[in-house]
Every structure is written in structure tokens, then in C-alpha cells.
Structure 1
Amino acid sequence: MIKENEQGILIVVSGPSGCGKSTLNQLIVSSRKDTIISISDTTRKPREGEKNNVDYNFISKDEFIENITNGKYIEYAIVHSNNYYGTPLDNIDKNLSQGINVILEIDIEGARKVKENKKDAVFIFIMPPSMQILKSRLISRKTETKEQIVERFKKAYQEINEVSKYNYVIVNEDINESIEKMNSIIKCEKCRVDRIEDIYLGNQEEIIHEILMDFEQKEN
């Protein structure tokens, strides 16, 4: 009997700020019972409306550095105004072993580190429809200064140049279409040969031998 491997899929999602990856990921997990978003640790201050242990685990710099020393992160980085971001490893492995797909929303540097440690992870890059639309989205958020927006916009060019390192790309122009594409990717990845395991009742060689003997007896 052949069945799908019950291990969950680690899904790494990257893309420039303002591409809509957070909205897309939230809509994916709200429509799937088998998928969650990994909650990252960060030393930055919460934005308006963000909740601790829901959007991020907001911790002190000292606690973050202690976690680094203890090897608790699958990846971590210092980004945007010297804020620390890190992905806790324990919760990822726990959920994957229970058959839960885990989405990591991280930047390209973090994705590179994950690829070194998790060879079977799936890497998806979310693209904005155009750089002009990306600029408009960043401005409309009204969460950063002009200097921070310029910094993020420059980084967006660098990130987009890394798209060839990913398995899939989704141009996020229509959110419903993007949801459909991402669900299709998850479905296809579940069917990959290296995610399928052959499970036979009893000893495989013994069963094959019995079947062959049965054929021979019927022929005689």
C-alpha cells in the first residue's frame, strides 16, 4: 500500500516589504487546517495592532542574544534599523513531525540559511506586480519614515535579483489568484516522489514471493 508521507512541509516565503506576503500567508492558514505560520522572535517594537505571541514574539535584545548562544534559531538576522529577527527551531520540528505544514516568512538571507539546514523545504518568492505599485504600497502603510521607505525600496531590488534561488514565484496582483497558486504548490509538493513512502503490510520480500508462487500454482 502506498500513502503520502505524514511529515509536514516547511514552506519558506520571501519577498520585498509591501509585496503582500503577510496577507497572503494569513489567508492561506485561515483556509487550511493543516498549515500554520511560524511566529518569529524580534527585538523591534510592535507596530499598531500587532500582538505579542501572535504576530511576533517581542523580546529584548539580551534575550535574543542568549537564544543565539543556545542555538535556538534555525536562522536569524539583523535587518531594518538594527532590529533582530529569528526563527525558533523547536516549534518548527514539532509541528512538521505532527503533519502540520509550517510557513516561514523570512528574508532572502534567512531563506539561504534555512536551505543549508532543511534540504526538503519549499521556497516561494512573492513578487509585486510592478515596482511602482510596490512604492505606492509602502507609502500607503504609513508605518515608516521616508528614509526607511527608501531603504526598503533599495533592498527590494536586491531581493528580486535573488528570485532564481527559489522553487516558485507568485506575482501577487490578484490575491485570490495568489491563494489558488499557493494552495496548488502545496498540493503538488505533497505528491513529490521523495515525499511518498512505500508501506507494505508484513515483510515485503515475503509478500512478493507469495504472490509469485500463487501465480505459478494457478498456471500449473
Structure 2
Amino acid sequence: MHPAFPVILAAPSGTGKTTIARRLLELRPDVGFSVTCTTRAPRPAESHGVDYHFVVGDEFEARVQRGEFAEHAVVHGHRYGTLRSEIDRLMASGRNPIMTIDVQGAVQFRQVFPQAVLIFLLPPSAVELLSRLSGRGSEDMATLARRVDSALTELATVEQFKYVVVNDALEHAVTQVLSIIDAEALRRTRLTDLRERVTALANELRDAIR
């Protein structure tokens, strides 16, 4: 009754957007994960083609020049981009593409796909965010400081987002994100066959009283 639409989870690094996205995939067959391209090295337990498409800088730039990205940005010194082909593939299959991208990428993406739903994720506290970042074990102090600076910049953009979810507990946050997706699916402007359904209903009512 409604076409698929992209859902963006944007947040400062360490807020848990990837964890939430993975849980959504476990719970809902109508959701598909859009795998992002990046020039950064894989973290422990990350797999190419599953978590990210890990590419070298020259390949990334070639994709930019060919117009393959719906959005791309430099984040923490590395390039990230969302492939248009990934979004089109998922929506053609009837699934809502879920993306975990940075704030600047989310705003850029909406210009290409205006039907996208943007959700900003907040950590429950500064202490918790710092704990999550330092607990990764992949961040030295200089990198941690850069991520904190980026988080401050990203937090200042929260008013550009229609929805905000606080990731204080995983299952609670996941439930809230699913509620947003379900509500958005019922927006009048997304119901492509609404006019036909209402017309048919009205005709049946008229026939019933004749």
C-alpha cells in the first residue's frame, strides 16, 4: 500500500546506531541494511560487504566522479559514502533501507531522497558516550578528542531532524525507532492507493443505500 522509504540513523560516533540497525534487521523482514563505502580500515569483527564496503581512496574518488553516491563525506579523516544502487536495490525489493551515517551525510542524502526519514540518536549522557568511545579500544587520546569535537558539532544540528531517540537501553530505543517507521508508513502522502481505496469504499456505500 505504500512504497519503501529510506530510514537514516544519524548520531555522534559511539551512540550505538550500528547496534540498533542490526537489531532492526533481526526483527523486521521489511528492513534492509544499506552497506556504506568507506576508506577507513576495518575494525575487529567487521567484514567487507557486510558492515562496510572497504575501498581505497582512488576507488572511492572514481565512484564519486561517476556519481554513484547519494551522499558522501569526510568523517574523522576517512571518506564515507552511500551508494545509490544500494538504496534503489532495497526499495525495489519492498524493503526500507536502513542507513547509519553521519549528520552531514544525512542532510545531503535527504536532498537526493526527500522521502527519507531522519532519526537523530542521542546517548543517555556524556559519561556514557565517553565510556563507549574509550571502551572500543581502537581510539587513542588524539582520536578520542577529535571524535568529541565532532560530537559537539553534530549535537548542534539536532533541530534539523524530525525525530530524536535516546539510546539509553537498546530494546527501548529499537522499539521507538520501529514505532517511527510504522507511523511514517501510514502517512497519507505515502499511501499510493489511498484515492482508489476511498473511491471504492464510497461507491460501495452509495450502492448499499440505493
Q: Same fold (TM over 0.5)?
A: yes
Q: CA deviation at 1:173?
A: 0.5
Say if 2:143 is the partner of 1:168.
Answer: no
Superposition deviation, residue 160 in structure 1: 0.9
1:92 aligns with 2:113: no
Return the TM-score normalized by structure 1.
0.88
Residue 106 (1) aligns with residue 101 (2): yes
Look up the match of 2:182.
Answer: 187
Q: Distance in 2 between matches of 1:147 and 1:211?
A: 69
Q: Report what 1:116 is aligned to.
A: 111
Question: Structure 1 residues 211 and 27 mapped into 2: Cα distance closer, same or farther (>3 Å)?
Answer: closer
Q: Secondary structure at the match of 1:119?
A: coil
2:20 aligned partner = 24
Whether 1:61 aligns to 2:43 is no
Q: Could you state the TM-score of these two structures normalised by the residue count of structure 2?
A: 0.92
User: Counterpart amino acid of 1:57?
Assistant: H
Q: Could you tell me which amino acid in structure 1 is paired with residue 111 of structure 2?
A: E
Of residues 116, 120, 125 in structure 2, which corresponds to 1:125?
120
Deviation at 1:180, TM superposition (A): 0.8
Aligned to 2:9: 13
Give the C-alpha shift of residue 199 in structure 1: 5.9
Query: Equivalent residue of 1:52, what SS?
Result: coil
Report the equivalent of 1:75.
71
Indicate conservation of the 8 Å contact 2:35/2:86, yes or no.
Answer: no
- Output the CA distance in 2 between the equivalents of 1:21 and 1:200: 38
- Give the Å deviation of 1:35: 0.4
Q: 1:147 to 1:211 in 2, by over 3 A?
A: closer
* Local SS of the residue matching 1:87: strand
SS at match of 1:66: helix
Aligned length: 207
Identity, in percent, stands at: 33
Q: Which consecutive aligned stretches of 4+ in structure 1 deviate over 6 angstroms post-superposition?
A: none
The 1-side partners of 2:21 and 2:152 are apart by: 22
Please give the alpha-carbon distance, in whole angstroms, between the structure 1 residues aligned to 2:39 and 2:151.
22
Q: Is the 8 A contact 2:165 2:173 kept in 1?
A: yes
1:215 Cα deviation after fit: 7.5
Unaligned regions of 5+ residues in structure 1, if any?
Answer: none
Which structure has the larger Rg over C-alpha atoms? 1
**Pairs within 5 Å for 1:31-46:** 31-46=27-42
Structure 1 position 78, deviation (Å): 1.4
SS at match of 1:132: helix
RMSD of Structure 2 on Structure 1 (CA):
2.0
Q: Which residue of 2 aligns with 1:49?
A: 45
Partner deviation per Cα, 1:144-181 (whole Å, 9 max, x = no partner): 11100011011111111111111111110111110110
Residue identity in the other structure for 1:34: D
The aligned amino acid for 1:52 is H
Aligned mates of 1:85, 1:63 — CA distance in 2: 12
* Unmatched tracts of structure 2, length 5 or more: none
AA matched with 2:37: D
